[in-house]
Every structure is written in structure tokens, then in C-alpha cells.
Amino acid sequence: QVQLVDSGGGLVQFGGSLRLSCAASGSIFSGYVMGWYRQAPGKQRELVASITPGGSTNYGDSVKGRFTISRDSAKNTMYLQMNSLKPEDTAVYYCNAKKPLSAYWGQGTQVTVSS
């Protein structure tokens, strides 16, 4: 019953920044763990960052210190601030909301970092 729309991707130079947004039609603070995943061509999808209903965050080792996940309850929106971007960050980024028996995905937004 949750619909997610992610946006904010684009082309950025090495060392640049982008902020991704994920707008939810339903409440994302009703027992869902929210997260950002990414998938590069020929590679397996990986977890980038997640945030629990209580506000605890977790980051993949490759993005620690560079990316920050956050949420805005009033706007029912989640964000991923990406700084110091590297070509290895190039991928399609997907917003995700999950509970033990259900999961919802955004349509994906392309992030391309030039070398």
C-alpha cells in the first residue's frame, strides 16, 4: 500500500555531490525500515544505507563518511545526501521500504559520476 517515487539522479563530476529524494504516498514511519540500494551494470544489487523507524542508520562500508541518509516526517520523504562522489558510485539507485512480510521499491534514478 506504500508507493515510492525516487528522484534526484544525474551526471556529476568526480568529487561532486547529489541529493536523492524518495517521496512516499503512505507513511514510511509505520514499522518500515527505509533504505537506498544501488545496482551497477553486471553487478549485484547492494545496500547503500538504511534508517529504522527509531532513527538508527546503517551504511555500506564503501560509502561511510561520504553519504548521509535522513528523513522528513512532515513531508513523508527520505533523502540520501551523496558527497565526494567517485566513478565507482555510478549505478541506478532505488528507494526501498520493507517489513518482514512486504517490500516496496521506487522506480530507480540513474547516478553517473565522470572520471
Instruction: Determine contact, residues 67/80, Cβ cutoff 8 Å.
Output: yes
Question: Which tens digits make up the pLDDT trace of 36-54?
Answer: 999 999 999 999 999 998 9
Question: Which tens digits make up the pLDDT trace of 3-31?
Answer: 999 999 999 999 999 999 999 987 766 78
pLDDT band at 85 (very low <50, low <70, confident <90, very high): very high
Instruction: Determine contact, residues 20/8, Cβ cutoff 8 Å.
Output: yes
Residue in 67, 65, 30 with CA at minimum distance from that of residue 50 = 67
